[in-house]
Amino acid sequence: MELIEKEQISALRFPKEEVELSPEQKKTLQKAINRATSLGNIEHIKFKITFQDDKSLKQVHTTIWAANPQHIVLKKGVVIPVNRILDIN
């Protein structure tokens, strides 16, 4: 897994296909996204976001500012598709 800076995410390419997660993992991930978004806005807490682009697994340590069912939004409008996220902790 490659640790990257959030500024590098804009240059990555994300396939449309979902990463493989069980229904239970998807439910847990959605809860983690909601929690991380709330704590990011209120407490400015950073989380480790593990995701996959078109090449490999990557991880970024940052604050989530907003989320919708399709994307999470980081500082400066950097976006990661939810269907490419494996874990948030």
Structure confidence at residue 72 (pLDDT): 97
For residue range 27-68, what is the model confidence (pLDDT) as tens digits?
999 999 999 999 999 999 999 999 999 999 999 999 999 999
Are the CB atoms for 41 and 58 separated by under 8 Å? no
Secondary structure letter of residue 43 according to DSSP: T
76 pLDDT higher than 90: no
pLDDT-based confidence at residue 88 (cuts at 50, 70, 90): very high
Q: How far apart are alpha carbons 23 and 30 in whole angstroms? A: 11
Question: What are the phi and psi torsion angles at 17 (to 5°)?
Answer: -65, 145
Are the CB atoms for 47 and 61 separated by under 8 Å? yes
Average pLDDT score over the chain: 96
The domain spans of the chain are 2-88
pTM (predicted TM-score): 0.94
Are the CB atoms for 19 and 86 separated by under 8 Å? yes
Structure confidence at residue 75 (pLDDT): 87
Structure confidence at residue 20 (pLDDT): 95
